Structure 1
């Protein structure tokens, strides 16, 4: 550690306004902001307490209190005889005081999004990408299909799961959402029917509407998919496309068994339906679950198109996804995506390539962290909202909660006044229903979830939601 700041240098950087109180907290906040904004690097030695106190014209006790607070928050480390230096804390341990978990600049806790914190191996993968990046400057700098090492890693993962796959069958995309967009754009025309689960991933509904498709919703019972309902929906609508989430379904958390998977693919073959299968949550088992094959393992004629994403297993900020389909369809989709962004960012592809090498370690870490968060959320809800019902999923990232009345939108409005963003049930439906449901993700730390549940409970007591029973809302026509 050879970089350091003198007392006068740090005093100029913090630029604390005269009269700021309490001074030690303002000083700690200023140093933290410098670090989070990138103006102060991690592993930089800060001046001794007395040197900074002299430069600021305050007492040494004040600087000591500021340094103690920074150490408590995880932004400063010290060792006897070696001084103190800046660090970035582990995001999962920061609780509700983590400035990066909030929605924008308003301090809202983001329980509207099931986006996980970064995996612990991400920094080393970023360092690997930085080492590899210069080699790629000798070439064109982008590949519309995705860089070869990443496509090989994705194909190898499918093969290891029992679905033989060649790199030519993989198209790397800028997130799973772009993958859904490309497939729906290629296969759906205005007025075409598309089968969607209800509830389902909200952006799939948005994209179906964007294409002008005719949405055929199929409800998912509390116990999981009803094969007869899915089959009859495909037969009666002559659906061109069906979008399914068989692995820890978003938002219900259900896991489709192999018998149902085989039945769905068989029905799609009989009725001429292409299956767009979202496997974004596939790697996120928490408890022991039966081994299930990828849905495409039951495919015999190339009608199952699978998509995946780096965002749920490794980090929400990695906007890298992929499509597994036939080599011919990969080429068609690559031509289509050229009108959007030509290729996904090289650096992020290199990061994900490295992360695939330790995928089992990542899955084990998520089992620990998501398991602890899920259990904390379940305990908090049972203690504070015992009249809410839910099944505890064995994986995925959220609880699908049944409220005591059809009042999800009213509760969402009340909770926002108490600093929590929520995802009401109607977001996940295509027809204005699901007002009695709420999705609560457990992708944040246990501390954040406990704080969020406390705020939601306060909203029920103090807000308009808690003042009187909410009335059912009439869906928009």
Structure 2
């Protein structure tokens, strides 16, 4: 016998205030949250749009629009003449509204994204680039590998960090995400196993899914990586590519020690796997952690591909990243890239070339501001949400916070209603797990973070507890 809800039963569950605007969006989000936290089971038939509209006291168009939104997001399936049933999105589908993209300007504090503002040195760098670009204007302007001065600057920085690198081993990309996409698109095919950490950078998961890869998650523990678990997963899955973040891991903030880095590369060698190492946060150590060798420094046979970016150190709007690998693979990637975007923008590349000349100054400024913001966020959380637990990371840009109950997604919905967008744990997982966690970055100014925590705490009342008490879900 089919399970179903009456209009009165569903209206009692959604609890959307009549004055909420836009009402259809709040109604859809409420139903989605009910499904995600298990209070509304999958394959349950929902009431007809007309009946629910009558019960809620809204127009039928409003309910129809909410149902349409749920269908687009994969939380509702419908059949003509038979009704609509609750569902879960296909794990391999990104949906029409990715969690990182806001479809309209809702004026919310953007704490879902760990992106610092532009460095104060950016204006000088752009001015210098404007003076130098005419040297390139006589040519075609297409260089799929990147302009020579920037490739040399990136290679020099790797040499300074202890990794012998030639400019021919560097490819300039439109940010780190572009670099991940190029590498995975070239090396990964449908149903190929790809090892990822859990949690991990959400966009890397998206790329692997777009390629039709079979994701092999390996959990990162409270104390960091357990190399025996990682190698076991490599061996059992036969994964030939592993995406890892050894430097101030996103989102946990963990920093892999040199002994574990050497062991990871050795494990990859034994299992004939390639390591795609994301070093986006590598330059931003906020505490004294001592020197750390890049993962590529332990590589002897070209199985470590390193990815970096200008976004965290200087500014995400520059859209400049890079890949360090073998010269042969750089040539393959350049040929493959030509089918996608041909080349990056010259002026931005020249600006980043100049910023490399002021790397130490900009890094000192960035770390100083991140330390102040980290301190403000930690203090605000301790004061207003003391039951949440976390370990402040020694670098990077965010806190990975454990809640007292698996309600990260509805908590994020409640925060959004208070004007703050935060990233719930499942964004960083493979199979809808990590509902005990949220990520909150400290890349915004201290006063913004303090205000954001106050708003989040004010919205927790919808879960039946005061901020100073342990978090428990209301069933």
Give the TM-score, by structure 2 length: 0.76
Distance 2:142 2:386 in 1: 53
CA contact (8 A) 1:268 1:274 kept: yes
The residue aligned with 1:49 is none
Q: Aligned pair in 2 of structure 1 residues 260, 369: CA closer, same or farther (>3 Å)?
A: same
State the 1:387 CA deviation. 0.1
The residue aligned with 1:400 is 400
The residue aligned with 2:385 is 385
Q: Aligned pair in 2 of structure 1 residues 295, 160: CA closer, same or farther (>3 Å)?
A: same
Q: Where in structure 1 are there 5+ consecutive unaligned residues?
A: 1-101, 473-477
Distance 2:316 2:273 in 1: 31
State the 1:465 CA deviation. 6.9
CA contact (8 A) 1:459 1:465 kept: no
> What is the aligned length?
370
State the 1:432 CA deviation. 0.9
Structure 1 segment 312-323 matched on structure 2, within 5 A: 312-323=312-323
Structure 1 segment 200-211 matched on structure 2, within 5 A: 200-211=200-211
CA contact (8 A) 1:150 1:352 kept: yes
Distance 1:293 1:457 in 2: 40
State the 1:143 CA deviation. 1.0
SS in 2 for 1:264: helix
Structure 1 segment 430-449 matched on structure 2, within 5 A: 430-449=430-449
Distance 2:313 2:371 in 1: 14
Distance 1:226 1:272 in 2: 19
Distance 2:104 2:307 in 1: 29
State the 1:240 CA deviation. 1.0
Cα deviations across residues 230-251 of structure 1 (Å, max 9, x unaligned)?
1111111111100000000000
Q: Where in structure 2 are there 5+ consecutive unaligned residues?
A: 1-101
The residue aligned with 2:142 is 142
Q: Aligned pair in 2 of structure 1 residues 318, 103: CA closer, same or farther (>3 Å)?
A: farther
The residue aligned with 1:424 is 424
Alignment of 1:338 onto 2:338? yes
Distance 1:225 1:389 in 2: 19
The residue aligned with 2:17 is none
| Runs of 4+ that moved beyond 6 A | none
CA contact (8 A) 1:459 1:466 kept: no
The residue aligned with 1:229 is 229
Distance 1:103 1:169 in 2: 39
Give the TM-score, by structure 1 length: 0.76
CA contact (8 A) 1:161 1:294 kept: yes
CA contact (8 A) 2:463 2:472 kept: no
The residue aligned with 1:116 is 116
SS in 1 for 2:336: helix
CA contact (8 A) 2:404 2:472 kept: no
SS in 2 for 1:141: coil
Distance 1:423 1:105 in 2: 18
The residue aligned with 1:470 is 473
The residue aligned with 1:161 is 161
CA contact (8 A) 1:402 1:437 kept: yes
